[in-house]
Amino acid sequence: MSKREKSSEASHGETTLDLSHLRREARTALELAVAAMAPSEILDRLAAAAGLLEAIGEFPPNSPPVLALLPQLVKRSRVALEDWQQWHEVHLAKLKA
């Protein structure tokens, strides 16, 4: 790991591996939400999270777009994933009933 990556990780509290996992989780959740026909609000938020995480992954960790977007993007992505998981649990419970 380079010094540049370490300084970026420390400033955001997220490692490159954490962001990779978050990106993968957002993409998977989006695919599952589409298949489950989740509400458009959930789909839109997951799509935005997955797309932006994918896009910033192409930039160097200390680039201005990453520094500007990453902190809020991580928060929004986690909230979108939590909302998807809650909707999915309720939806599954209804299907089982």
Residue 1 binned pLDDT confidence (cut-offs 50, 70, 90): very low
pLDDT tens-digit series, residues 38-78: 999 999 999 999 999 999 999 998 999 999 999 999 999 99
What is the C-alpha to C-alpha distance for residues 7 and 63, in angstroms, rounded to an integer? 12
Q: Is the dihedral of CA 41, 44, 48, 50 positive or negative?
A: positive
pLDDT at 9 over 90: no
Domain boundaries, the chain: 19-96
| Dihedral over Cα of 49, 92, 21, 30: its sign | negative
For residue 97, what are the CA distances in angstroms to 1, 64, 82, 84, 92?
50, 50, 23, 20, 9
Q: Which residues does 12 contact at the CB level (< 8 Å), separation at least 6?
A: 70, 71, 74
Q: What is the pLDDT of residue 12?
A: 53
